[in-house]
C-alpha cells in the first residue's frame, strides 16, 4: 500500500468539510483541512447565521411598536446599525473559534492557506509545500454571482452586507430568491427604502404559489417596492457616491446601496480540479455519484460545490455520509427527498414536500386543506397581517405530501411537522391529534 502524508485532505472548512473531517478523524483517519479564509464557511461566516441575527434585530422594529398595544410604555426608539453589525461580527468570531477548537479536539490539522489539487493524491499549498493524501475531499462551497453589466463593480453581494460602514437610506436588491427577500425584509424594518429588482416575473420560484404571493402582498403593504421583468442595463456612480441603476422597461432608480442576490455558483475554479481530471458540469459544479465520488476515484466532493441542494444541513449530511462510508465502515447515502426549507423574510415562510402545483402534475388527484387566519398577537396589536397554512394530500392514499406556511415562527413550526410528512403520515393522523390551544401550530391539526 502506498504511504501518504494524510488519509484525508479536505479543501474547505465550511459546514460539509468540517463535519466530514472530524468524523473521519474520529474513525481513526489522519486528517488535515485547508481553509484560505475563515473556518466555518458560508453559513457561519457570511451566510445563514449572521443573517439570522440581523433578522432577529429587524424584528424589534415591529415588536417595539406592538408592545404599546400590550400595555408597555415604549418611547420612540432609534436604531444604531453599527452596534448590531459589530455584535454580529463578534459572534461570528466566537463561532469561528468554536469550529476551529472542534477540529482541534478531534485531532484534525487546520492549514490556513490556499490548497490546489495537483493529482489524484497530491495537493499543493500556497506556501509552496506539497502534501499527499489517500483521499481528497472538495468542500469549497459556492460564491455569489454578479451580473455581467456595465458598472456592476459598484454593487455588493451578501458577503459584504455584514460589513457596511453605515445603514444605507435607499437599497436596491437584485434577485427574487430567498437571499433577496430576506435582506429586503431586514433593511425595510431598519428603515431603509427597499426596492427588489427581478429579471423574471415572480419571486421565490419553487415555493408554493399561494405562499409566495402572500409574501409579495405583505411585503408591498410594508412598503417594499418591486420591479419585475427588469433586467439590468448599467449602473452609474454619481458624484455624491450614490448609484443610478438603469433597467429595461422602467425608469432608473437611485440608491445608496445595490445588493446582488442573483444566485450562487459552485466555487470550483482555480483549485486544479479539471487539470486533475475531475469532471465539472456546465455550471462549474463538481459531478459526483451517490457516494460523493468524483470522476477521479480518490477525490470526493460534498456541499454547495456539487450544486445538488445548496443548504447547510444537506452539506453536513453529505459530509457525514462520506466519512462514515469511506472511513467508518458504515456505508450510507443521503436521502434528498422531502427536505424542509425556509425563507426568513418578514414574515417568514417554510415548506416541505410537494407544492400544490407539483402534486397536481405528479399525482393528479389531490386534496388541498388550508387555514387563512390572523394570529392572536396580530389581532391585539392591530395588525391586519394574515398567516396562511396549506396541506397537500394525495387523494388516493390520504397521505400528506406537502406542508407550506407563511406567518410568525413558520420555520420553527414546520421543523416538527416535517417529520410527519417525511414519515408518510395521513391527514387522518393530523385530525386525530388533539390541538394545542391557543397556538398558531394548532391550525395544522384543524385544517379543513
Between CA 255 and CA 250 the distance in angstroms is 15
Q: Which of 63, 88, 91, 87 minimizes the C-alpha distance to 77?
A: 63
* Burial class of residue 416 (count of CB atoms within 10 Å of its CB; 0-12, 13-18, 19+): exposed
Pull the grid cell for residue 386. Answer: 394574515
Using CB atoms within 10 A of its CB, is residue 290 exposed (0-12), middle (13-18) or buried (19+)?
exposed
Please tell me the distance from the alpha carbon of residue 27 to that of residue 6, in angstroms, as a whole number.
14
Q: How far is CA 207 from CA 210, 213, 222, 355, 362, in A?
A: 9, 10, 21, 7, 16
Which one is catalytic: 59, 106, 332, 437? 437
Taking alpha carbons only, the member of 88, 67, 85, 89 closest to residue 76 is: 67
User: Do 183 and 173 form a contact (C-beta atoms < 8 A)?
Assistant: yes
**154 included as an active-site residue:** no
Tell me the β-bridge partners of 152.
Answer: none
Catalytic positions are: 437
Amino acid at each position: 500500500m502506498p504511504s501518504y502524508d494524510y488519509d484525508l485532505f479536505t479543501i474547505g472548512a465550511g459546514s460539509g468539510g468540517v463535519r466530514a473531517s472530524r468524523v473521519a478523524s474520529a474513525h481513526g483517519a489522519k486528517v488535515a483541512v485547508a481553509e484560505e479564509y475563515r473556518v466555518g464557511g458560508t453559513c457561519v461566516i457570511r451566510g445563514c447565521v449572521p443573517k439570522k441575527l440581523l433578522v432577529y434585530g429587524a424584528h424589534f422594529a415591529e415588536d417595539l411598536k406592538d408592545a404599546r398595544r400590550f400595555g408597555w410604555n415604549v418611547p420612540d426608539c432609534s436604531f444604531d446599525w453599527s452596534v448590531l453589525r459589530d455584535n454580529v461580527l463578534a459572534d461570528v468570531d466566537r463561532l469561528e473559534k468554536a469550529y476551529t477548537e472542534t477540529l482541534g479536539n478531534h485531532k484534525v490539522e487546520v492549514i490556513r492557506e490556499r490548497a490546489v489539487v495537483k493529482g489524484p493524491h497530491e495537493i499543493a499549498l500556497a506556501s509552496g509545500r506539497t502534501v499527499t493524501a489517500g483521499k481528497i475531499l472538495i468542500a469549497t462551497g459556492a460564491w455569489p454571482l454578479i451580473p455581467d453589466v456595465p458598472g456592476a463593480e459598484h454593487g455588493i453581494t451578501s458577503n459584504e452586507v455584514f460589513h457596511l460602514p453605515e445603514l444605507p437610506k435607499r437599497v436596491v436588491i437584485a434577485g427574487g430568491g430567498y437571499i433577496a427577500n430576506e435582506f429586503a425584509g431586514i433593511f425595510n424594518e431598519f428603515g431603509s427604502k427597499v426596492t427588489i429588482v427581478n429579471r423574471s416575473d415572480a419571486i421565490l420560484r419553487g415555493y408554493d404559489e399561494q405562499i409566495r404571493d402572500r409574501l409579495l402582498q405583505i411585503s408591498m403593504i410594508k412598503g417594499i417596492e418591486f420591479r419585475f421583468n427588469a433586467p439590468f442595463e448599467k449602473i452609474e456612480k454619481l458624484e455624491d457616491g450614490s448609484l443610478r441603476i438603469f433597467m429595461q422597461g422602467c425608469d432608473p432608480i437611485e440608491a445608496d446601496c445595490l445588493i446582488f442576490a442573483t444566485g450562487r455558483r459552485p466555487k470550483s475554479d482555480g483549485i486544479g480540479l479539471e487539470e486533475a481530471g475531475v469532471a465539472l458540469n456546465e455550471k462549474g459544479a463538481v459531478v459526483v455519484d451517490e457516494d460523493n465520488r468524483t470522476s477521479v476515484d480518490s477525490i470526493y466532493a460534498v456541499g454547495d460545490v456539487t450544486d445538488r441542494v445548496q443548504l447547510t444541513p444537506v452539506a453536513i449530511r453529505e459530509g457525514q455520509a462520506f466519512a462514515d462510508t469511506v472511513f467508518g465502515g458504515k456505508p450510507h447515502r443521503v436521502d434528498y427527498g422531502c427536505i424542509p426549507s425556509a425563507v426568513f423574510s418578514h414574515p417568514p415562510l417554510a415548506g416541505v414536500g410537494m407544492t400544490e402545483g407539483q402534486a397536481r402534475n405528479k399525482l393528479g388527484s389531490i386534496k388541498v386543506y388550508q387555514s387563512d387566519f390572523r394570529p392572536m398577537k396580530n389581532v391585539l396589536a392591530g395588525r391586519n397581517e394574515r398567516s396562511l397554512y396549506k396541506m397537500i394530500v394525495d387523494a388516493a392514499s390520504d397521505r400528506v405530501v406537502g406542508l407550506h406556511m407563511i406567518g410568525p415562527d413558520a420555520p420553527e413550526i414546520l421543523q416538527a411537522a416535517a417529520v410527519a410528512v417525511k414519515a408518510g403520515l395521513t391527514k387522518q393522523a393530523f385530525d386525530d391529534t388533539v390541538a394545542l390551544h391557543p397556538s398558531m401550530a394548532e391550525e395544522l391539526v384543524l385544517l379543513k
